[in-house]
Amino acid sequence: MPEHLPYDPLDPSTLHDPYPVYARLRRHAPVHWHEALDCWVLTRYDDCLAVVHDHERFARDRRRVGAELPAALESLQTLDPPEQIPLRRLYLAALRRFDATALRQHFGQRLSALLTALLTAPQAALPETTDGAPGFDFVPSVAVPLSLLVSCELLGVPAPDPAGFAEDADAIVLAMDAHRAPEVYRRGAEARARLDRLIGSWLRDPVPGSLLSHVLDPAAAGDIPEHHIHHTVRVMLMSGYMAMSSCMGNLVAALLSHPTAAQQLRDRRLLRTGVDELLRFDSPVTGTTRFATVDVTVGGRSIRRGDGVLCLYAAANHDPDRFPKPDELVLDRTPNDHFGYSWGTHACIGRAVAQGLLEDLVTAVVSLPRPLKLAAAPVRRPTATLRGLSSLPVTVR
| Count: domains in the chain | 1
Q: How far is it, in rounded angstroms, from Cα 283 to Cα 388?
A: 9
Mean pLDDT along residues 323-350: 96
pLDDT at 303: 98
Asked if residue 181 belongs to a domain, the reply is yes
User: Torsion over CA of 135, 140, 146 and 149, rounded to 10 degrees?
Assistant: -150
Tell me the pLDDT tens digit for each residue of 263-288: 999 999 999 999 999 999 999 999 99
Asked if residue 212 belongs to a domain, the reply is yes
pLDDT at 360: 97
357 pLDDT more than 50:
yes
Packing angle of the helix pair 226-257, 182-204 (nearest 10 deg) = 120
pLDDT above 70: percentage of residues in the chain: 95
131 pLDDT more than 90:
no
Mean pLDDT along residues 214-237: 95
Q: What is the CATH number of the domain that holds 360?
A: 1.10.630.10
Mean pLDDT of the chain: 93
What's the pLDDT band for 3 if we cut at 50, 70, 90?
A: very low
pLDDT at 268: 94
pTM: 0.93
Mean pLDDT along residues 341-369: 95
In whole angstroms, how far apart are CA 95 and each of 83, 130, 193, 245?
20, 47, 27, 20
Angle at alpha carbon of residue 255, lines to 268 and 277, rounded to 5°: 65
What's the pLDDT band for 177 if we cut at 50, 70, 90?
A: confident
Strand partners, 33: 40
Asked if residue 206 belongs to a domain, the reply is yes
Domain encompassing residue 68: 12-395
Tell me the pLDDT tens digit for each residue of 240-268: 999 999 999 999 999 999 999 999 999 99
Structural contact between residues 162 and 244, judged by C-beta atoms closer than 8 angstroms: no
Which of helix, strand or coil describes residue 48? helix
Asked if residue 6 belongs to a domain, the reply is no
Structural contact between residues 256 and 248, judged by C-beta atoms closer than 8 angstroms: no
Asked if residue 120 belongs to a domain, the reply is yes
Asked if residue 230 belongs to a domain, the reply is yes
Asked if residue 300 belongs to a domain, the reply is yes
Strand partners, 374: 394
pLDDT at 122: 63
Asked if residue 197 belongs to a domain, the reply is yes
125 pLDDT more than 80:
no
What's the pLDDT band for 5 if we cut at 50, 70, 90?
A: low
Lowest-confidence pick of 37-51, 74-88, 287-301, 382-396? 382-396
